């Protein structure tokens, strides 16, 4: 089966610009996660969807970050406006069911904010 797809793989923008990332999870996976990973550190959860509903967005900086998962399939994460500290890798992951099982990660989008 195809893995989790993400695009773009790399993005360079200037601060105060906007950027959007796209994720297509594995077919049939109900739960989708967006993580932010600073180089060399563990991923930090930004938002978790179950189908098209939000389960947890407690660590999402809502003044600048937004995410949606229309129709419960693919998802977009947007940053507007970007700050220097947003430079990181943004990882998307999915799991099949509603209980903790194997998370499958995409390759990530590396964002550099200048």
Partner 1 sequence: TQLLEQSPQFLSIQEGENLTVYCNSSSVFSSLQWYRQEPGEGPVLLVTVVTGGEVKKLKRLTFQFGDARKDSSLHITAAQPGDTGLYLCAGVTGNQFYFGTGTSLTVIP
Burial of 13 (0-12, 13-18, 19+ CB in 10 A): middle
Binding-site member from 41, 80, 83, 85 for partner 1 (CB under 8 A): 41
Residue 107 in the binding site for partner 1 (CB under 8 A): yes
Cβ atoms within 10 Å, residue 7: 14
Residue 22, sorted as left (phi over 0), alpha (psi -120 to 50) or beta, turns out to be beta
CB of 24 to partner 1, least distance (A): 14
Q: Which stretch binds partner 1 (CB under 8 A): 13-21, 27-35, 62-70, 76-84?
A: 27-35
Selection from 16, 41, 29, 17 nearest residue 91 by Cα: 41
Binding-site member from 20, 22, 26, 50 for partner 1 (CB under 8 A): 50
Residues that bind partner 1 (CB under 8 A): 4, 31, 33, 35, 40-45, 48, 50, 55-56, 59, 91, 93, 95, 97-103, 105-108
């Amino acid at each position: 089966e195809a893995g989790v797809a993400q695009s773009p793989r790399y993005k360079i923008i200037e601060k105060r610009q906007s950027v959007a990332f796209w994720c297509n999870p594995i077919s049939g996976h109900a739960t989708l996660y967006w993580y932010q990973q600073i180089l060399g550190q563990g991923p930090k959860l930004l938002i978790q969807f179950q189908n098209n509903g939000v389960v947890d967005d407690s660590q999402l900086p809502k003044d600048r970050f937004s995410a949606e998962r229309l129709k419960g399939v693919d998802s977009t994460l947007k940053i507007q406006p970007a700050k220097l500290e947003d430079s990181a890798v943004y990882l998307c992951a999915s799991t099949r069911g509603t209980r903790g099982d194997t998370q499958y990660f995409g390759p990530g989008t590396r964002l550099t904010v200048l």
